[in-house]
Amino acid sequence: MRGLRALEQTVEESLSRGPVRGLYLAMMRGLLGRKRAASEIDDYERFRDEARRIKERSLEEMEELLTEFVRNAEARGAKVHFARDAVEANEIILRVASGARARLIVKSKSLTSEEIELNQYLESRGIEVVETDLGERIIQLAGERPSHLVFPAIHKSVSEVAELFSKEGGEELDHDVRPILNYVRRRLRSQFLDADVGINGANVAIAELGAVVLETNEGNGRLTASLPRVQVVLMGIEKVVKTVEEALILARSHAVAATGQRLTTYVSIMGGRLPVSGEGGRELHIVLLDNGRRRMLDDPVFREALYCIRCGACMNVCSPYSVVGGHVFGHIYPGPIGIPWTANVHGLDRAEFAELCISCGLCMEVCPVKINIPMSISKVKGLLAESRGSPRSSRAMMRYETFARVASRIAPLANALMSSRAFRELMERVVGLDSDVEMPRLSSKTLTDRLREERSSVENPRDTIVLFPDFFYQYVRPDLALKFVRALRASGLEVEVPQVMSSGYPFVAYGDLKRATEVAERNVSVLKAHVDKGRRVVSLEPTATYALKHVYPYLLRGRDDAESLSRATAEGMEVLLELVEGGHLRAGSVGGRYGLHVPCHQRSLSSGAFTLKLLELSGLEVVEVGDGMCCGMGGTFGMKAGPIGRGLSDLMGMRLGELLRSKGVEVLLTESSVCAIQYRRTTGLRVLHPLEVMTFQTR
């Protein structure tokens, strides 16, 4: 557990300094730019599907495509080298540089070169290496690692940058963008002309051409590729696709998701090298790097990480990253996608920062190729747990249902104990449950108990709805579920509540995919009989609905019953809206103005559209509150004591608390039971479920 303790200390130090300056605003610009650029594509979801299919096909045929790429690249005069790992790649590039008698190498941005720590290797051999991408040059002068895949110096202020370049150039630069840019351009021009070797990365490789695609916004990539006599392209073997058309779709996907552009300013297709007047012997070397990629390809979970096109969109939506930055939330590859990549190419011990992931799932929602990043992260957490054990707080959170089942039988005593300061402090010391966080009060009677007592039914029902109660509505607020059931029954629908387990999502969140799969199998088998009868399965808890629709089909890949359940699953508010619009119910309300927070897992479902419309039809004035990121609660993450838990959660929640207050609302509505806990803590406002402010009557 030494690595985890070191991570806790690092996070604690980071939290004591507060959020990384300027990082959040830069991330929001990225998110808003992506949203704007995506809206310019007729059907962006269909576009994402096509980009994903390209990566799926390409990896399935990777060995054949590599063979074709090498054949065509060599026909254009390139020399192609295969490197099994970082050591071999560095040695190959050193041999090329030594053969060119290189004293100065210029580089354009290359994450793969960061992966193998190429600069350090070459500099230790006496070769000067100059990064020509502005952000990378800033980081190089600062002696740091990139903190973002696309914006490596996103955490630096203009003043800090001016000081770095002033020290390099021996002249005092004004702390303003224009003089800094003028200095960099002036200095780089001579370095481009003096360089013996230029090193580029590649965003995509095109098998049918034997050429690579390089995307930049500064033009430095073309100068690096064209001016030095010797050019080296370093790329991972996963980058190859079949055709130009496929490459351009990925190039557009990258630009939209990374910077909100239709295309990056410079999109270059490079194959072979033409002679320059007065200069002979121009060389192109292409180094194809494995470094764990074939091993990832053989893993059914990790292979999706190979779809990554390095856009950084997952980082722009990651709430914990927005607080601590990429030097804490990352190794060489930072952010959510950096977790599986780090585990596979740098070793599991370097991927300890996976524990900072709060499992909100938003990284998958913004990924241009729909990588299931949450499941890859979950597997890394599971591997970490196998190697050094799970943190005690995580183990406790995974026992939530067992605790509720037992404690609900003695609810008055359990609630009294959980309200006792002494008992809560003991719980913090023993199991890592934060002593200050609000704990939901258990109901003396479960939803099943109440329905059994009510014994109501519908004569000649039009249809039957299956209610998946999940933890909160079974043990904490059965009254809300009962209100929902009564509304459906009043409309002529019968409701059944089967004996299912809770969704099991906490097992995914904390890396126990084996137990998550067991829960999925149990619930799917129970619900199959209902789905086979054509019944819809409905949940009021967004995370449970998300699990039924998206997580179970993934865990039970290839199972028709899991896919059928996914198609049959609907949100509770979706069903109520259908009944109101269909004339079966009339919606009313207590009136007033409310804020609405859409939970993370609901964004992959309807983004709260059903709830918002239903509230408006009820006569309420509603303003949606949120910045596109998680509120920081992350299910039960914010209930854990310590910096990797309540400490990190509080800092994430402060931002949304300020946003909520700026909207001037006095009551917030949300369908997530845990988001409600977070908002009550960070704002002090009343937080209610939408069902608490609406009424339903038959017409």
Percentage of the chain modeled with pLDDT above 90 = 84
Range from 75-84, 533-542, 587-596 carrying the lowest mean pLDDT: 587-596
How far apart are the C-alpha atoms of 693 and 612, rounded to whole Å? Answer: 13
CB count in 10 Å sphere of residue 280: 7
- Could you give phi then psi for residue 109, rounded to 5 degrees? -55, 130
Task: Inform me whether the pLDDT recorded for 454 exceeds 90.
Answer: no
Following CA atoms 577, 581, 583, 588 in sequence, which dihedral angle do they give, to the nearest 10 degrees? 60
Cβ neighbourhood burial of 149 (10 Å; 0-12, 13-18, 19+): buried
How far apart are the C-alpha atoms of 97 and 107, rounded to whole Å? Answer: 13
DSSP for 402-423? Answer: HHHHHHGGGHHHHHHHHT-HHH
* Per-residue model confidence as pLDDT tens digits over 483-541: 999 999 999 999 999 999 999 999 999 999 999 999 999 999 999 999 999 999 999 99
Helix (H) or strand (E) holding 4: helix 2-17
Q: In this structure, are residues 111 and 201 in contact, taking their beta carbons and an 8 Å threshold?
A: yes
- Average confidence score pLDDT of the chain: 93
Query: Across the strands, what pairs with 212?
Result: 205, 270
Which among 380, 358, 481, 347 is positioned nearest to 11, based on CA atoms?
358
Task: Answer with the residue of higher pLDDT: 379 or 440.
Answer: 379
Task: Inform me whether the pLDDT recorded for 390 exceeds 90.
Answer: no
**Alpha-carbon separation of residue 259 from 147, 215, 263, 310 (angstroms):** 16, 12, 9, 12
Q: Please give, one letter per residue, the 3-state secondary structure of 30-84.
A: HHHHHHHHHHCCCCHHHHHHHHHHHHHHHHHCHHHHHHHHHHHHHHCCCEEEEEC
List, in order, residues 6 or more apart from 248 with CB less than 8 Å away.
Answer: 267
- Residue 545: strand, helix, or coil: helix
How far apart are the C-alpha atoms of 355 and 359, rounded to whole Å? Answer: 10
| DSSP state letter for 671 | S
How far apart are the C-alpha atoms of 42 and 597, rounded to whole Å? Answer: 28
List, in order, residues 6 or more apart from 371 with CB less than 8 Å away.
Answer: 304, 305, 307, 308, 337, 364
Rg (CA), the chain: 28
Task: Inform me whether the pLDDT recorded for 675 exceeds 80.
Answer: yes
Mean pLDDT of 95-103: 96
Domains of the chain: residue spans and CATH: 56-291 (3.40.50.10420), 443-577 (1.20.1050), 585-697 (3.40.50)
List, in order, residues 6 or more apart from 333 with CB less than 8 Å away.
Answer: 111, 115, 149, 341, 342, 345, 346
Cα of 433 vs its chain's centroid, Å? 26
Name the token pair of 467: 């209610």
Q: In this structure, are residues 450 and 656 in contact, taking their beta carbons and an 8 Å threshold?
A: no
Task: Inform me whether the pLDDT recorded for 655 exceeds 90.
Answer: no
How far apart are the C-alpha atoms of 424 and 61, rounded to whole Å? Answer: 56
pLDDT given at position 2: 58
Q: In this structure, are residues 103 and 196 in contact, taking their beta carbons and an 8 Å threshold?
A: yes
Q: Using 50, 70 and 90 to split pLDDT, how confident is the model at 657?
A: confident
Query: Across the strands, what pairs with 493?
Result: 463
How far apart are the C-alpha atoms of 478 and 464, rounded to whole Å? Answer: 20
Helix (H) or strand (E) holding 107: strand 104-107
Task: Answer with the residue of higher pLDDT: 659 or 140.
Answer: 140
- Residue 493: strand, helix, or coil: strand
Name the token pair of 283: 């060389």
Name the token pair of 42: 């007729």
How far apart are the C-alpha atoms of 192 and 442, rounded to whole Å? Answer: 68
Q: Using 50, 70 and 90 to split pLDDT, how confident is the model at 280?
A: low
Q: Using 50, 70 and 90 to split pLDDT, how confident is the model at 18?
A: confident
Name the token pair of 312: 């950084």
Which among 156, 111, 120 is positioned nearest to 337, based on CA atoms?
111
Mean pLDDT of 677-686: 88
List, in order, residues 6 or more apart from 47 with CB less than 8 Å away.
Answer: 41, 249, 253
How far apart are the C-alpha atoms of 321 and 357, rounded to whole Å? Answer: 9
Q: Using 50, 70 and 90 to split pLDDT, how confident is the model at 277?
A: low
Q: Using 50, 70 and 90 to split pLDDT, how confident is the model at 435?
A: very high
Q: Using 50, 70 and 90 to split pLDDT, how confident is the model at 402?
A: confident
Task: Read off the pTM.
Answer: 0.94
How far apart are the C-alpha atoms of 598 and 609, rounded to whole Å? Answer: 9
Task: Inform me whether the pLDDT recorded for 310 exceeds 60.
Answer: yes
Mean pLDDT of 212-228: 95
How far apart are the C-alpha atoms of 344 and 441, rounded to whole Å? Answer: 42
**Alpha-carbon separation of residue 75 from 70, 165, 271, 694 (angstroms):** 8, 43, 10, 71
Q: How many residues does the chain have?
A: 699
How far apart are the C-alpha atoms of 451 and 424, rounded to whole Å? Answer: 32
Name the token pair of 264: 């990056």
Q: In what order do the strands lie in the sheet with 104-107?
A: 79-83, 283-289, 230-236, 197-200, 104-107, 128-131
pLDDT given at position 400: 81
Q: In what order do the strands lie in the sheet with 463-467?
A: 493-496, 463-467, 536-539, 569-571
Mean pLDDT of 43-53: 97
How far apart are the C-alpha atoms of 132 and 379, rounded to whole Å? Answer: 37
- Residue 270: strand, helix, or coil: strand
How far apart are the C-alpha atoms of 152 and 155, rounded to whole Å? Answer: 8
Range from 54-68, 521-535, 587-601 carrying the lowest mean pLDDT: 587-601
